[in-house]
């Protein structure tokens, strides 16, 4: 539902917006981690144990870690406070 932006806004950033503009933050809503994203989440957490995140990484080390992740991600536990991809901030104009 527009308006939306593809980015990574932290809760801190979303709270700071009310200080910049004449608006009041009413609520921040985080989507739960969806079932179709669990495998990606676990694979990413697995790789981050051994490698620093990079925008583009085509190294041999990355490829080996990713292959080992087929088995390793089975040991990654999902914490109950993990959010999904979507965050919605609701503001009120003062």
pLDDT digits (tens, 9 = 90+) for 8-39: 788 999 999 999 999 999 999 999 988 888 99
Distance CA 51, CA 54 (A): 9
Whether residue 47 sits in one domain with residue 73: yes
- Give me the helix-helix angle, 60-72 and 38-50, nearest 10°: 130
In tens, the pLDDT along 33-46 reads 888 889 988 998 99
pLDDT at 17: 92
Residues 6+ apart with CB under 8 A from 42: 69, 73, 74, 76, 78
In a domain, 47, yes or no: yes
Confidence of residue 3 (pLDDT cuts 50, 70, 90): low
Q: Which residues pair with 24 in a beta bridge?
A: 92
In tens, the pLDDT along 41-74 reads 899 899 989 988 888 889 899 899 989 999 999 9
In a domain, 1, yes or no: no
* pLDDT at residue 1 is higher than 60: no
User: CA dist 36 to 6, 24, 60, 65, 76, Å?
Assistant: 19, 34, 27, 22, 16
Whether residue 69 sits in one domain with residue 47: yes
Whether residue 60 sits in one domain with residue 45: yes
């Amino acid at each position: 539902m527009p308006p939306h932006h593809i980015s990574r806004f932290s809760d801190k950033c979303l709270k700071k917006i009310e200080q910049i503009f004449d608006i009041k933050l009413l609520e921040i809503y985080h989507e739960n981690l969806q079932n179709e994203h669990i495998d990606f989440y676990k694979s990413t957490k697995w790789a981050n144990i051994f490698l620093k995140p990079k925008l583009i990484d085509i190294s041999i080390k990355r490829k080996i870690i990713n292959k080992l992740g087929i088995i390793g991600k089975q040991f990654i536990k999902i914490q109950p406070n993990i959010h999904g991809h979507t965050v919605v901030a609701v503001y009120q104009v003062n």
